[in-house]
Amino acid sequence: MALIKLLVEGGNMSPGPAVAQQLGPMGINMGQVISDVNEATSEFKGVTVPVHLTVDPKTKEFSIKVLSPPTSELIKKELKIEKASGARMKQRVGNFAIEQVISIAKSKHPSMLSNDLISTLKSIIGTCQALGVLIESKEPKEILEEISEGKYKEEIEAQKTDVNPDKRIELDEFFAQIATKQEAVQAAEEVEKAKESEKKAAKETKEEKKKE
């Protein structure tokens, strides 16, 4: 048996040099593999998913095992964004309800080494911190403290994943205010950069004229 490890976009694996290089020498039907992998990963559309193919070199038969996507990919999928924040302390990219964090923790828990769900939950919260994601309109580290104090105990024990519509509206409105402020700061920074560039260009022009 041979093990082939792939990273594919859920439901959208396509033939390419990297795929051909790994599958070609095995002599298996590449079209069939791609079709089966796309079917197996269809629930992870838009998310990069690790896939393991176990191939029998003699019979050319293969089996597919879809592994859990990276936590960051699940968070981005939940937020419906392509990229996380490149400057997490300046740029926030979303505002989760605790129920959304629980949902991601439930999907990741079987593939993690955590002994219990709350340990996995804390790991997810740590990733939210790294990506610039607020939780319950707060910094993730505040949520960790609140969990230690017993808050959200009811939601965690019930493994609640449904977000109350009114709560969702409140979270979205809070984030909209944050996003507006971030855009204003970014616009001001860009204006300042433009001014600095103009000053630099003017100085260089002045120095060139002196040389003449």
Give the separation between CA 95 and CA 168, rounded to whole angstroms: 9
12-62 pLDDT, tens digit each: 888 888 778 877 887 888 889 899 999 998 888 878 888 998 988 888 888
CB 142 within 8 A of CB 129: no
The number of distinct structural domains making up the chain is 2
Least reliable range by pLDDT among 5-9, 79-83, 132-136: 79-83
Predicted pLDDT of residue 111: 72
149-160 pLDDT, tens digit each: 999 999 999 999
CB 118 within 8 A of CB 147: yes
Please give the mean pLDDT across all residues of the chain.
Answer: 86
**Which amino acid, one-letter code, is at 104?**
I
Supply the CATH number for residue 33's domain. 3.30.1550.10
Answer yes or no: do 94 and 171 share one domain: yes
Q: What is the mean pLDDT of residues 159-187?
A: 93
pTM: 0.70
Rounded alpha-carbon distances, angstroms, from residue 52 to 46, 48, 85, 110: 19, 13, 30, 17
Answer yes or no: do 46 and 89 share one domain: no
Alpha helices in the chain (DSSP H): 17-23, 30-40, 71-79, 98-108, 117-131, 140-148, 153-157, 165-211
Domain of residue 96 covers 71-176
